[in-house]
Amino acid sequence: MTDRDYFSVPLAASNPDQMLTVNFNGQAFNVRVYYSTGTALWWVALSSADKAVTLSHIVLRPDVMLCLEGRIPGYAGALAVGMLRLRDSGVYASIDAFDGGFGLFLSDVGDTVTS
């Protein structure tokens, strides 16, 4: 995959619970990214703009894109969401993970990526 195959979701650094709306391939999605200090895991919830469908409690793992194809009614693409490493020194189990070490990405390529 190339960089143009990914859409970077603009997250604020050092914010452990964020909610934003993104437009991806002509469809609006609500995205909530949050960090659980109890489990030391990052999670994402993705929903259609009208919140008719919400995919919640999806754990984000470093360098893994999760295919969500067919799970959002009305979206015909091969949607995938994941947390990809941007720097080798990035620390996953930290509220600072999105401070340049990792990024949250959406893709429509259709296959999953693991490191």
- The answer to whether the beta carbons of residues 73 and 52 sit under 8 Å apart is yes
What distance, in Å, lies between the first and last C-alpha atoms of the chain? 13
CA 67/CA 81 separation, integer angstroms: 7
Q: What pLDDT was estimated at residue 4?
A: 54
Task: List phi, psi (to 5°) of 28.
Answer: -90, 140
What ranges do the domains of the chain cover?
3-107
Q: Is the pTM of this model over 0.85?
A: yes
CA–CA distance, 41 with 102 (Å, rounded to integer): 13
CA-nearest of 76, 104, 71 to 90 is: 104
The C-alpha torsion from 108 through 13 and 34 to 37, rounded to 10°, is: 140
SS (H, E, C) 8-64: EECCCCCCCEEEEEEEECCEEEEEEEEEECCCCEEEEEEEECCCCCEEEEEEECECE
Q: What is the pLDDT along the chain (115 residues), one digit of tens a residue?
A: 455 588 999 999 999 999 999 999 888 999 999 999 999 999 999 998 888 889 988 999 999 999 988 888 878 888 899 999 999 999 999 999 999 999 999 998 755 554 4
